[in-house]
């Protein structure tokens, strides 16, 4: 098992010290205090997690013409409980469930078949089996155990109707975990490296600490090593100063986008730069502080709580939990957006591009925070 590897730098020490001084000088800064539980969350928690915000700033202006024509969704399957992530092994669709830790194959008729389970995954609050990605006959999984978050990979064998998981290999362990703010998204970048989002695990100071993997976006080789060209020598950290990022995707020009849950004011869409500091817990949303990278768009969390994202053509699609909508943001004009299906399907956890260039959207109404209907939870095929 590989344990975490970091490097302690003067830069890190300076950032943390600066953060402490700034928070100390701002006695009314809510980011430095434990917030009140969000009354809209059905399961009480020590801090608000995926959905907790309000503000009075106007909505971004909608784009005149969306880049992708979005049609009426069709149900692929409706037999899921707290699904979290979808990945494709060639043409074979795989979906997982957070609490049961099952990985399921979805056939053309929408029937589900269990491929395997992640034995050490521990369902607690927002934790459990989270992100999933597939590359080169391996399935990669990000999950919460009883004491940490970790990334494992499993060899895949078989074909449609007979797919199976081999023995687990731990790539990275000891990522801080809690019952909330675990991050959890996995995705392969155009460079062939695997990226993982991590939350602050309820300890906000860790996001600015370059000796901690919490509140970061990480970059690993497919074998779990630290890439030689990572921005901090010997460290998995690619960017930092994040609260709870849960969506990552790349545009055709290589630009990396990430969605992030804010705390009391703003949820965010960020363009990720290697070594970039995105400000949490010092700032939230667009702050205009040159010390930190501002998001390209922000939303009131009552209309957002952005989780998984996907890019099709020149459009970023964002699945929103509390906001109960699919949002489209043009890559070429990321300060504007268009909403679809507002309130029609409840909480949306993930959106993924299919091998044929379409979109699948995953609902998340059975996770303890939604109001499930007879057809929940499901995967929707959105015509494009």
Q: What is the pLDDT of residue 44?
A: 28
Tokens 């004491």, residue?
Answer: 147
Whether residue 128 is predicted with pLDDT greater than 70 in this model: the reply is yes
**Phi-psi region for residue 23, left (φ > 0), alpha (ψ -120 to 50) or beta?**
alpha
- Give the pLDDT score at 41: 28
What is residue 343's predicted lDDT score, i.e. its pLDDT?
97
pTM greater than 0.75 (yes/no): yes
Q: What is the mean pLDDT of the chain?
A: 87
pLDDT of residue 69: 73
Instruction: Indicate the pLDDT class of residue 383, thresholds 50, 70 and 90.
Output: confident
Q: Terminus-to-terminus CA distance in the chain, angstroms?
A: 43
d(CA 128, CA 236): 22
- Phi and psi (nearest 5°) for 166? -85, -165
Active site residue 111: no
Residue 47: its pLDDT value, please?
Answer: 39
Highest-pLDDT range among 31-35, 344-348, 356-360: 344-348
pLDDT digit string, tens, across residues 2-31: 444 444 334 444 433 444 333 333 333 333
**pLDDT score, position 66:** 59
Render pLDDT for 238-248 as a digit per residue (tens, 0 to 9). Answer: 999 999 999 99
Q: How many helices (H) and strands (E) does the chain have?
A: 1, 25
Specify the pLDDT at position 91: 95
The structural domains of the chain, ordered by start, are 68-382 (2.120.10.30)
Q: Which of 147, 181, 242, 335 is catalytic?
A: 181
Residue 105 to residue 134: CA distance in whole angstroms? 13
Would the pLDDT of 49 be above 60? no
């Amino acid at each position: 098992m590989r344990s975490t590897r970091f490097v302690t730098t003067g830069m890190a020490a300076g950032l943390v010290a600066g953060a402490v001084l700034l928070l100390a000088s701002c006695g009314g800064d809510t980011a430095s205090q434990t917030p009140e539980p969000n009354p809209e969350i059905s399961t009480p928690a020590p801090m608000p997690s995926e959905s907790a915000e309000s503000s009075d700033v106007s909505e971004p202006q909608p784009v005149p013409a969306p880049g992708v024509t979005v049609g009426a969704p069709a149900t692929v399957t409706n037999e899921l409980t707290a699904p979290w992530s979808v990945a494709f092994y060639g043409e074979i669709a795989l979906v997982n469930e957070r609490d049961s830790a099952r990985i399921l194959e979805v056939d053309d008729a929408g029937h589900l078949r269990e491929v395997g389970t992640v034995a050490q995954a521990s369902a607690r609050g927002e934790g459990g089996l989270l992100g999933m990605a597939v590359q080169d006959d391996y399935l990669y999984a990000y999950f919460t155990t009883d004491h940490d978050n970790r990334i494992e990979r499993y060899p895949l064998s078989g074909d449609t109707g007979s797919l199976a998981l081999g023995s687990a290999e731990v790539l990275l362990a000891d990522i801080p975990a809690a019952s909330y703010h675990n991050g959890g998204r996995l995705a392969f970048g155009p460079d062939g490296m695997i990226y993982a989002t991590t939350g602050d695990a309820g300890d906000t100071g860790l996001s600015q600490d370059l000796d901690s993997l919490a509140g970061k976006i990480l970059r690993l080789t497919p074998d779990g090593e630290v890439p030689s060209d990572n921005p901090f020598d010997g460290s998995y950290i690619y960017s930092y100063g994040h609260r709870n990022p849960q969506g990552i995707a790349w545009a055709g020009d290589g630009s990396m986008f990430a969605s992030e849950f804010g705390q009391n004011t703003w949820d965010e869409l960020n363009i990720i730069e290697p070594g970039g500091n995105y400000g949490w817990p010092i700032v939230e949303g667009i702050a205009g502080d040159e010390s930190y990278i501002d998001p390209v768009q922000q939303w009131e969390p009552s209309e957002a709580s952005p989780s998984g994202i996907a890019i099709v053509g020149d459009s970023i699609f964002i699945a929103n939990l509390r906001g109960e909508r699919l949002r489209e943001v043009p890559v070429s004009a990321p300060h504007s957006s268009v909403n679809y299906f507002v309130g029609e399907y409840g909480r949306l956890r993930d959106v993924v591009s299919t091998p044929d260039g379409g979109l699948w959207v995953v609902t998340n109404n059975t996770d303890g925070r939604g109001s499930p209907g007879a057809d929940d939870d499901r995967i929707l095929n959105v015509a494009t």
